[in-house]
Amino acid sequence: MDESIVRSSAQEHGDAVVAGDFATAGRTLTPESTDQAPAVMKALPRPLTAAKVESVEPQDDGFVARIRYSNDTDATVVASTWASVDGAARIVDLEVL
């Protein structure tokens, strides 16, 4: 797993959240991050119109992707920690910044 895979996966995840496609967005979550998702979703602006990966930085055995979720008047940045789980890039932790 490298930065480009995480960046691409994070953008796909963000786009799915904006589209309301929670089945697709949920495929990248581990059980731990699935438990965190409801609180993160409550913090996002409504309606969501865009998701943009602002940065991807290495951390320990993975990466932290910062995704900016926005609409015309508001924005929230979420830090998602990505790790290789069973050979796939998965979100292991979520934090609203």
Q: What confidence tens digit (pLDDT) does each residue in 58-79 have?
A: 999 899 999 999 999 999 999 9
Measured CA to CA, the distance from residue 23 to residue 59 in angstroms comes to 27
Taking a C-beta distance cutoff of 8 angstroms, is the pair 80, 29 a contact?
no
**Residues of the chain below pLDDT 50:** none
Instruction: Classify strands 62-70 and 88-96 as parallel, antiparallel or unpaired.
Output: unpaired
pLDDT, residue 80, reads: 98
pLDDT, residue 23, reads: 96
pLDDT, residue 25, reads: 97
Question: Given this structure, which CATH class describes domain 3-96?
Answer: alpha beta
pLDDT, residue 51, reads: 99
